[in-house]
């Protein structure tokens, strides 16, 4: 029998991406799509790409389900759980940032859901805090070095598409502003820095300094990051370190060739490319911010927690042109 799924915040970008993925998942069925702002409207009327994929009507009345995804604005998931009690046996996966640093909520203890870092603890979990999009890209770039205690100071730049800012229209997401434009924002103060450092320090077993400059890009979806670290390791040894670390990970690929964002858009994959000049190594990563950086990773976490094949429902082809 298929497991029932509810999506709270189904009218947003991450919620609609979950609808798209779960509509074809062999082990689940969509039970309710919750929206406070659009009850009574078909999800396909908000997202025409879901026409003939899912015609469910959005509701503001949640139901009991086996699996619950929270796709709410940051700082709202905890309030929602307090106002809408969920049975203990329900698997709850939060895509916001409420539980990434402090995972306690009532009798639930949320486990950080970066599978390449925490897979064993995710098996059988009932409460999962899905990582942030930039946090995912940066951690996948640095985890192999952190495991060997090789991180001290890191300088990272990263560029993201407009969907990373959410569905609500803002001055910096308006087409006439975003088109043909690039700008830095939250320089050295991005909210994902603390999330990244918490995981890296636990792996690195010593303090790490992360200097992160994010950029807004002139495209809809995707993240490309470049992280610079000093190391005496030669390039071939670094590359082997990364290949060994990710050898059994179905969604991470270490490439010997230069990488492009289009290799990962519309997929749950992360591709990594490493370069080195002198004693500075540069680790490039590319992910889709709405999939490996959000909804795809949430489905990956669901599969692991439920004991299903990790890549179920996630065999997606990138958009080549």
Cross-strand pairs, 225? 158, 285
Query: What is the chain's pLDDT, residue by residue, as a tens digit (321 residues)?
Result: 999 999 999 999 999 999 999 999 999 999 999 999 899 999 999 999 999 999 999 999 999 999 999 999 988 999 999 999 899 999 999 999 999 998 899 889 999 999 999 999 999 999 999 999 999 999 999 999 999 999 999 999 999 998 865 566 566 666 777 788 999 999 999 989 999 999 999 888 889 999 999 999 999 999 999 999 999 999 999 999 999 999 999 999 999 999 999 999 999 999 999 999 999 999 999 999 999 999 999 999 999 999 999 999 999 999 877
Task: Residue 249: name the closest of 156, 136, 158, 150 by CA.
Answer: 136
Buried b (16+ CB within 10 A) or exposed e, 239-260: bebbeebbeeebbbbbeeeebe
Superfamily of domain 133-287: Dihydrodipicolinate Reductase; domain 2 (3.30.360.10)
Angle at which helices 13-22 and 295-306 pack, to 10 degrees? 50
Identify the pLDDT of residue 204: 82
Sheet with 223-230, edge to edge strand ranges: 183-184, 209-216, 153-160, 223-230, 280-287, 270-277, 252-255
Q: Please report, for the chain, the start and end positions of each structural domain, with discontinuous segments joined by +.
A: 3-130+294-306, 133-287
Of 54, 71, 105, 133, catalytic: 133
> What's the confidence (pLDDT) of residue 179?
85
Cβ–Cβ under 8 Å, residues 272 and 141: yes
Catalytic site includes residue 54: no
Q: At what angle do helices 192-204 and 133-147 cross, to 10 degrees?
A: 20
Residue 177's pLDDT is 78
- The CA distance from 216 to 173, in Å, is 9
Question: How far is Cα 143 from Cα 313, in angstroms, rounded to an integer?
Answer: 26
Prediction pTM value? 0.95
Dihedral pair phi/psi, residue 177, rounded to 5°: -90, -40
User: What distance lies between CA 176 and its chain's CA centroid?
Assistant: 28
Report the pLDDT value the prediction gives residue 267, as an integer from 0 to 100. 98
Q: CB within 8 A of 117, min separation 6: which ones?
A: 139, 143, 199, 203
Encoded tokens for 248: 């059994």
Using DSSP bridges, classify how beta strands 270-277 and 153-160 pair: parallel, antiparallel or unpaired: unpaired
Q: How far apart are CA 97 and CA 21, in angstroms?
A: 22
| CATH code given to domain 3-130+294-306 | 3.40.50.720
């Amino acid at each position: 029998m298929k497991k029932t799924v509810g999506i709270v915040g189904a009218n947003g970008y991450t919620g609609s991406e979950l609808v798209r993925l779960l509509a074809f998942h062999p082990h689940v069925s969509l039970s309710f799509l919750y929206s406070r702002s659009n009850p009574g409207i078909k999800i396909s009327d908000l997202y025409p790409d879901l026409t003939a994929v899912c015609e469910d009507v959005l509701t503001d009345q949640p139901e009991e389900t086996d699996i619950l995804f929270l796709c709410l604005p940051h700082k709202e998931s905890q309030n929602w759980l307090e106002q809408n009690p969920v049975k203990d046996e329900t698997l709850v996966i939060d895509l916001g940032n409420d539980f990434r640093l402090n995972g306690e909520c009532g009798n639930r203890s949320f486990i950080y859901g970066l599978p390449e870092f925490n897979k064993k603890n995710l098996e059988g979990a009932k409460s999962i805090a899905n990582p942030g999009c930039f946090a995912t890209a940066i951690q996948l770039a640095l985890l192999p070095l952190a495991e060997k205690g090789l991180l001290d100071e890191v300088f990272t730049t990263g560029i993201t598409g407009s969907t990373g800012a959410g569905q609500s229209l803002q001055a910096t997401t308006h087409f006439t502003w975003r088109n043909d434009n690039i700008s830095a924002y939250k320089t050295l103060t991005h909210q994902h820095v603390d999330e990244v450092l918490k995981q890296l320090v636990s792996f690195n077993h010593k303090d790490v300094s992360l200097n992160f400059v994010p950029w807004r890009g002139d495209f809809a979806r995707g993240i490309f990051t470049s992280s610079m670290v000093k190391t005496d390791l030669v390039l071939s040894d670094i590359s082997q370190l990364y290949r060994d670390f990710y050898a059994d990970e179905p969604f991470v690929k270490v490439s010997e060739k230069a990488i492009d964002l289009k290799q990962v858009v519309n997929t749950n994959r992360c591709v990594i490319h490493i370069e080195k000049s002198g004693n500075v190594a540069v680790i490039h990563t590319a992910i889709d911010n709405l999939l490996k950086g959000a909804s795809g990773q949430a489905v990956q976490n669901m599969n692991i927690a439920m004991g299903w094949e990790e890549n179920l429902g996630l065999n997606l082809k990138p958009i080549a042109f």
